[in-house]
Amino acid sequence: MKYLLFIFVGLVHLLSLGSGKAIYGNGTSQRTFQEIKEEIASYGDAAKAIINLAVYGEAQNRSYERLALLVDAVGPRLSGSRSLEKAIQIMYQNLQEEGLENVHLEPVKIPHWERGEESAVMLHPRAHKMAILGLGSSIGTPPEGITAEVLVVTSFDELQRRAPEARGKIVVYNQPYVNYSSTVLYRARGAVEAARVGAVASLIRSVAPFSIYSPHTGIQEYQDGVPKIPTACITVEDAEMMSRMASRGARIVIQLKMGAKNYPDADSFNTVAEVIGSKYPEQVVLVSGHLDSWDVGQGAMDDGGGAFISWEALSLIKDLGLRPKRTLRLVLWTAEEQGGVGAFQYYQLHKANVSNYSLVMESDLGTFFPSGLQFTGSDKARAIMEEIMHLLQPINVTQVFRCGEGTDINYWIQAGVPGASLLGDLYKYFSFHHSRGDTMTVMDPQQMNVAAALWAVVSYVVADLEEMLPRS
């Protein structure tokens, strides 16, 4: 019965969109969808101006060149590091010098972890030095390291079935890569599940669809009441090799050394700049990416690109002399990689004004040529976003997908604010994700131009519409 009711309500909704009847309830608007479509269509010239400036005009390659200048000078930007704070101060100065409005830093406390020296050496059945990357917040080993036999498993279920074999061993996970959201659970929970069955350390096959002997780091989580054991990622190649060895009955012994340390929380900042709204300055469209990264590579792709196309969106709008009715706010988050730490503190500080946020946007899945926009919101808001994306026909990026997301904007989405994220080549993204390969070499200036154009058009139009995006 509930299923039939859902279908009926959906059909009524679709008919209301097509017939031009008012689509907003509770007296919030009497405008028809046809009127809203016509309003959005009127932004065609502005959208073309943004696209021409970003993709073909004087601003082409600007986001790429700005990013290269930062990451070549500063390098990776781990939470709690001096390099992150240096990057924040550089961005604060850059945003001020550009003449953006209300440029300021909002203080937050963030985790401070350092990996130190680390190594893993197979001692038996042959000598082999392995490439590893310790996982964020992992404890270190004793100075002499941990030398133990290995138990290779392909899943948490197999680990439970073989729990008696795990005591005193190093658990190696050789889980297959299915997709990031499901496979990353092994990185997040691998140490805890191994510790529950008495293991002394855990090594996790890197969460990546492709590898050229490249370990991928990331955050992991301990649990109260479960012993903390050292944990690191190894390459896909070494995980598969040890799995083959174990299947032949070979005894595998590894010596693991990790100098990882956790320190008290450090002082840091979210970086904020605005184009203040002309008519409803208290209302906000937020565009964002995170400035922190892991401590390997340059953090160019994750998430320098997302941060810099968000900056570029404001730059393009300012260059064209456009001023939307609502405030367009840029936030460069800190400590996203540790679980959205900076973003959570921003939400706590600003959540009293949640009703004034029309849309929150986060780019954190790469700035390769976009497939379209992911969106979470009401059906009414989705219909509006689909019309806005039609304005991007000149660059052939018009699709609206489900499930807009992002670690840093999910707090707002859960509070009912519509959310959008940029969707691109996820296979390429996760091949370089959290690895030494995340450098400017991965980035493509022309693809960044297109991503920036999309980001600027969507944020500007939503910020300038007469009404905020409707909620459920």
- Give the fold, CATH level 3, of 116-259: Glucose Oxidase; domain 1 (3.50.30)
| Model confidence band, residue 28 (pLDDT cutoffs 50, 70, 90) | low
Q: Delimit the CATH 3.40.630.10 region(s) of the chain.
A: 33-111+265-464
Q: Delimit the CATH 3.50.30.30 region(s) of the chain.
A: 116-259
Secondary structure (H, E, C), 359-399:
EEEECCCCCCCCCEEEEECCHHHHHHHHHHHHHHHHHCCCE
Helices then strands, counting H and E runs in the chain, come out as 15, 16
Residues 398-449 have pLDDT tens digits of: 999 999 999 999 999 999 999 999 999 999 999 999 999 999 999 999 999 9
| Model confidence band, residue 31 (pLDDT cutoffs 50, 70, 90) | confident
Residue 393 pLDDT exceeds 90? yes
The residue count of the chain comes to 472
- pLDDT on residue 472: 73
Q: Which CATH superfamily is domain 33-111+265-464 in?
A: Zn peptidases (3.40.630.10)
- Cα distances from 186 to residues 121, 232, 244, in angstroms, run 22, 11, 20
Average pLDDT score over residue span 293-309 = 98
Residues 89-135 have pLDDT tens digits of: 999 999 999 999 999 999 999 999 999 999 999 999 999 999 999 99
Instruction: Check: CB of residue 112 under 8 Å from CB of residue 245.
Output: no
80: which 2 tokens? 């709690």
Residues of the chain with pLDDT > 90: what percent?
93
Residue 15 pLDDT exceeds 90? no
Average pLDDT score over residue span 47-62 = 98
| Model confidence band, residue 17 (pLDDT cutoffs 50, 70, 90) | very low
79: which 2 tokens? 């939470």
Residues 62-73 have pLDDT tens digits of: 999 999 999 999
Annotated catalytic residues are 336
- pLDDT on residue 30: 73
Residue 256 pLDDT exceeds 60? yes
